[in-house]
């Protein structure tokens, strides 16, 4: 396993991070299975674990807390808030009211007295940067969080938050967690240059492109991944963007074979090769999944292989642009772009 400095924090983290989204109801992973995955991940050199309050309505945090009991100090622990936690209208978002309450809920579920990295899961257009940053700064000063970061923010919102922190003399986001893979390279255009400019650590989620780069999805095979059951539109190959993904996967599989790599090694090696990326977040549902992904821990792709990838999916291109989570609201709601 390799280690890199998380932005400008001085904290050393593994280039593969363990994402816990599949722990609990979402991935149907039991506590015993989750603990075994955490055990194997730590043994393999991973020291960063990432979860969120909304993953299985808090069940993921509870499972992580039980799995890390007795070894908290050896782990860089990250969680998130913003997504709805129930029907009550104020049990979501990034207001001071919600973040102060929900962090305490997360700490209770995790059974810890602090988290190392607290992330705002999505940009909240209804809440000012000053409101959110002020609350996070106070939580940091109270010792409940060590650092805080953003997740899936558009580039211009990352810049705006950095400006707001400086303007109001508040602590700033030190990390960004975007979606990034060979098949979704759009963040190379704006987000990654901005994170490099401001010295942010980057924790890339979905480096296997929701399973498209796992090796299980190939031409002529029935798509039976767990995600295809509750997100069938993302795997319907009659949709042009999915057809383009499948065509790219077939070409990438050839590149991997010629390089003596698995498709997973190719995919994870690509993400961690970018100089802006600190870690790739893997989200195994089983021990077998974890071991296949840990095999990429020391994968270093040659320039020839990276060039071959560029020829299949050009830099800065998203093959499924409709799946982006950082689209400005005015592009989604006509009322916001009309007088």
Q: Which domains can be identified in the chain, with CATH numbers? A: 3-337 (3.20.20.100)
Q: Which residues contact 195 (CB under 8 A, 6 or more apart)?
A: 158, 176, 201, 202, 276
Give 104's Cβ-side CA count (13 Å radius). Answer: 6
Place of tokens 């722990």: 23
- The percent of residues in the chain predicted with pLDDT above 90, rounded, is 86
* 98 close to 92: Cβ distance less than 8 angstroms: yes
* 111 close to 66: Cβ distance less than 8 angstroms: yes
Annotated catalytic residue within 55, 118, 147, 173? 55
Residue 128 confidence (pLDDT) above 70: yes
pTM, 2 dp:
0.94
The two tokens of residue 165 are 């922190």
Task: Average the pLDDT over 48-54 and give the result.
Answer: 98
- Cα 182 to the center of its chain, rounded Å: 15
Report the DSSP beta bridge partners of residue 177. Answer: 151
Report the DSSP beta bridge partners of residue 120. Answer: 81, 150
Which of 266, 276, 307 has the alpha carbon at shortest distance from 7?
276
Which of 149, 150, 50, 153 has the alpha carbon at shortest distance from 106?
50
Chain segment 270-308, per-residue pLDDT in tens = 999 999 999 999 999 999 999 999 999 999 999 999 999
The two tokens of residue 24 are 């609990």
Residue 229 confidence (pLDDT) above 60: no
The two tokens of residue 242 are 């999915």
* 158 close to 191: Cβ distance less than 8 angstroms: yes
Task: Average the pLDDT over 141-163 and give the result.
Answer: 97
Residue 150 confidence (pLDDT) above 70: yes
Residue 222 confidence (pLDDT) above 70: yes
Residue 3 confidence (pLDDT) above 80: yes
4: left (phi over 0), alpha (psi -120 to 50) or beta: beta
Which of 211, 266, 290, 280 has the alpha carbon at shortest distance from 42?
290
Give 268's Cβ-side CA count (13 Å radius). Answer: 27
Give burial (CB, 10 Å; 0-12/13-18/19+) of 234: buried
228 pLDDT tier (thresholds 50, 70, 90): low
**DSSP string computed for 218-230:** -TTS----HHHHH
What is the C-alpha R_g of the chain? 19
227 pLDDT tier (thresholds 50, 70, 90): low
Tally Cβ neighbours within 10 Å of residue 81. Answer: 22
Specify the 3-state DSSP secondary structure of 135: helix
The two tokens of residue 251 are 């070409």
The secondary element (H helix, E strand) that includes residue 63 is helix 59-67
Mean pLDDT of the chain: 95
55 is a catalytic site residue: yes
Residue 45 confidence (pLDDT) above 90: yes
Identify the sign of the CA torsion 282, 284, 289, 291.
Answer: positive
Residue 333 is predicted with a pLDDT of: 84
Pairwise CA distance, residues 236 & 252, whole Å: 20
């Amino acid at each position: 396993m390799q280690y890199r400095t998380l932005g400008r924090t001085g904290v050393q983290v593994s280039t593969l991070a363990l994402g816990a989204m599949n722990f609990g109801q979402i991935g149907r992973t039991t506590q015993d299975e989750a603990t075994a995955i955490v055990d194997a991940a730590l043994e393999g050199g991973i020291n960063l674990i990432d979860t969120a309050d909304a993953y299985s309505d808090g069940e993921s945090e509870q499972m992580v807390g039980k799995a890390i009991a007795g070894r908290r100090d050896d782990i860089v622990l990250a969680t998130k808030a913003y997504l709805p936690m129930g029907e009550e209208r104020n049990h979501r978002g990034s207001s001071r009211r919600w973040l102060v309450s929900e962090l305490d809920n997360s700490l209770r579920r995790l059974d810890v007295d602090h988290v190392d990295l607290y992330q705002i899961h999505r940009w909240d257009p209804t809440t000012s940067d000053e409101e959110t940053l002020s609350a996070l700064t106070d939580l940091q000063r109270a010792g409940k969080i060590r650092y805080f970061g953003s997740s899936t923010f558009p580039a211009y919102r990352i810049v705006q938050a950095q400006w707001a922190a400086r303007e109001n003399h508040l602590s700033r986001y030190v990390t960004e967690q975007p979606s990034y893979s060979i098949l979704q390279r759009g963040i190379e255009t704006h987000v990654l240059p901005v994170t490099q400019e401001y010295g942010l650590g980057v924790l890339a989620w979905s480096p296997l492109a929701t399973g498209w780069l796992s090796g299980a999805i190939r031409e002529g095979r029935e798509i039976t991944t767990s995600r295809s059951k509750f997100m069938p539109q993302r795997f319907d190959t009659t949709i042009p963007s999915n057809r383009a993904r499948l065509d790219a996967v077939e070409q990438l599989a050839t590149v991997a074979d010629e390089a003596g790599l698995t498709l997973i090694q190719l995919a994870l090696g690509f993400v961690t090769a970018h100089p802006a990326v600190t870690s790739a977040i893997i989200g195994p549902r089983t021990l077998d999944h974890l071991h296949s992904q840990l095999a990429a821990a020391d994968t270093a792709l040659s320039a020839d292989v990276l060039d071959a990838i560029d020829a299949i999916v050009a830099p800065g291109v998203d093959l499924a642009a409709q799946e982006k989570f950082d689209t400005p609201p005015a592009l989604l709601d006509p009322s916001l772009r009309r007088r």
